[in-house]
Structure 1
């Protein structure tokens, strides 16, 4: 079930949102509904499922940043489009995400975190 939650979080929640709290409730409800189509869960599990989705979404954004953006920051032609295996990421969302991750503010914060 955890893998399934991650798949829906990555494919439904746009990566350009700053944090999981900024993802609209409508999107989170869609993720919950998709999980309910595959698993029988009580309504009380919604908070746990969405917390897990948020964690997986943040991990995904972190992996995109370290593996596919910062590794190619000197190759703008590579950063122009998301990788083929991330075809569910809209081009406009990818562009916003790359610009954010390449910003001097983000890079300074990223270096401090290392």
Structure 2
């Protein structure tokens, strides 16, 4: 049901920008660990440590690649999809079961930020450059379906 598209960051096809450019390119691949990373929490229930940073990065990857951009709101995402996202995270990380809501909120926030980024970069200035960048995200983000992008635009 869910597909994650992983692209090797070391291959030439993924690194399309200059070496001198300080702009960060899109992240497609999380480092695969055969061992689940254990997430630690402080007394207030806040994630801490290097593993927390890796979890946050992975949540961003999951949000971009597994949740379609056609939803207008995070509230529209079905409970089944959300549970699938959580289960996918649990395959890679050992997370406290009490943090289910926190995990889903974090994925939702990253998903909204990604949608805003796409809007700001490719659609907002469309009046200045009509149809100049309308299909560029399909090249930059191959996990976005063509139909989904048309609905999003």
TM-score bracket, normalised by the shorter chain, equals 0.7 to 0.9
Question: What is the TM-score with the length of structure 2 in the denominator?
Answer: 0.59
Greater RCO, 1 or 2 (C-alpha within 8 Å, sep 6+): 1
Per-residue deviation, 1:10: 1.1
User: Among residues 146, 149, 152, which one is paired with 1:91 in the alignment?
Assistant: 146
**Corresponding position of 2:65:** 11
Structure 2 runs not aligned, ≥5 long:
1-54
The 1-side partners of 2:104 and 2:88 are apart by 12
Instruction: State which structure, 1 or 2, has the greater radius of gyration over its C-alpha atoms.
Output: 2
Question: What is the TM-score with the length of structure 1 in the denominator?
Answer: 0.78
Q: Kindly indicate which of the two structures has a greater share of residues assigned to helix.
A: 1
The 1-side partners of 2:140 and 2:134 are apart by 14
Q: Kindly indicate which of the two structures has a greater share of residues assigned to strand.
A: 2
The 1-side partners of 2:138 and 2:124 are apart by 14
The 2-side partners of 1:65 and 1:46 are apart by 29
Q: Contact 2:65–2:143 at 8 Å: present in 1 too?
A: yes
Q: State the superposition RMSD in angstroms.
A: 1.5
State the aligned residue count.
98
The 2-side partners of 1:54 and 1:44 are apart by 17
The secondary structure found in structure 2 opposite 1:82 is helix
